[in-house]
Structure 1
Amino acid sequence: MNDKRTVSMIDLALKRHDTPVGPLFVAVRHGRIKKCFTRDTAIRYLAFFMTTEAFERSGFPQRHPPVRIDRDDREVWRDGETKAEYLAAHQRCERRLRRILARKRDMTKWCEKWDAMHDRYVKEQAELQASKPEGVR
């Protein structure tokens, strides 16, 4: 169960499903879905979905133009290579996702410590109030 203090949109985009075989991670973003066996791969696909959508919306090309190749006197077209700008944007996106998830993990640990301390304080305060002698303000 997620604590409302640490819930983010990444939780909706990156979900873990427990299956009889083992955990299954699902990356869902911008209408695209990818099921993965590892969290690392799911994060990579999530960054891929986000980067692709950003490039499509901005109008920047993701690939170089197709290349014409002559093979056995036939014309063959090969897709252009992925542009360096796209690969760099994908790496930045993946790094940021990992940094956000690490910060979220630290925040969750802190919230657990805070809750334990707060519960202890409330319990001690209630005991102190219960043992309060008559006539003391």
Structure 2
Amino acid sequence: MKNNEKQKSGIDAAFSRPLRPVYVVTRHGYRKRCLSRSAALNNLAHYMTTHAFQLVGVATHHPAIPVQRDGVTVYQLGQHTGGYLASHARCIHRLRRILARKRKVQKWHEKWDSMHERYVKERDELQACKPF
């Protein structure tokens, strides 16, 4: 049986958890370390959604607003658009579903491996005491 742990999918490469209690999110040239899983998922969804919007050429923010600070005009970036926020929420939902599915598959593989090991052991014992 093939060992599936050696194969890394895109989600594994983008969302990893090293030995220390930190989640590392890497996607589309961005890299961020987060202490919580929810913050890591939020950042990953942000990177993915922003990249998708940039590819299509759709704005992710409302236009910049000129603001006076200390007698100098600076431009403050506008709020996220409704379309961006909806896409971000969908992306988080899909990422959570993908990770839940991966956990189910991993549990199934563990059950399969234990059952297969028992089967091979029993078969070897039967072959060893074969009377003919």
TM-score between both structures, scaled by the size of structure 1: 0.84
SS at match of 1:17: coil
Aligned pair partner of 2:28 in 27, 30, 33: 30
More helix by share: 2
What SS class does the counterpart of residue 59 from structure 2 fall into?
coil
- Tell me by how many angstroms 1:81 deviates: 1.6
Q: In 2, are the aligned partners of 1:68 and 1:77 still within 8 Å (CA)?
A: yes
Note the C-alpha offset of 1:75: 5.0
Could you tell me the percent identity over the aligned residues?
A: 49
- Match in the other structure for 1:67: 65
User: Partner letter of residue 104 of structure 2?
Assistant: D
| More displaced 10-residue stretch of structure 1: 68-77 or 34-43 | 68-77
TM-score by length of 2: 0.87
CA shift at 1:6, angstroms? 7.2
Give the CA deviation at 1:64: 1.2
Q: Quote how far apart the aligned CAs of 1:4 are.
A: 3.4
Quote the offset at 1:77 in angstroms.
Answer: 3.5
Larger radius of gyration: 1
- SS of 1:28 mapped into structure 2: strand
> Residue 54 of structure 1 corresponds to which residue in structure 2?
52
Q: Number of aligned pairs?
A: 130
Aligned to 2:96: 98
Alignment deviations for residues 72-92 of structure 1 (CA, whole Å, 9 cap, x no partner): 987553322210000000111
Deviation at 1:63, TM superposition (A): 1.0
Secondary structure in 1 matching 2:5? coil
Residue 17 of structure 1 and its aligned partner are, at CA, apart by 2.1
The 3-state SS of whatever aligns with 1:18 is coil
* Corresponding position of 2:15: 14
Determine the C-alpha separation between the residues in 1 that align with 2:96 and 2:24: 16
Deviates more, 1:125-134 or 1:30-39: 125-134
Contact 1:6 1:107 in 2 (8 A): no
1:84-137 Cα shifts (integer Å, max 9, x gaps): 000000111111111000000010000000000011011111111111112xxx
Q: Secondary structure at the match of 1:4?
A: helix
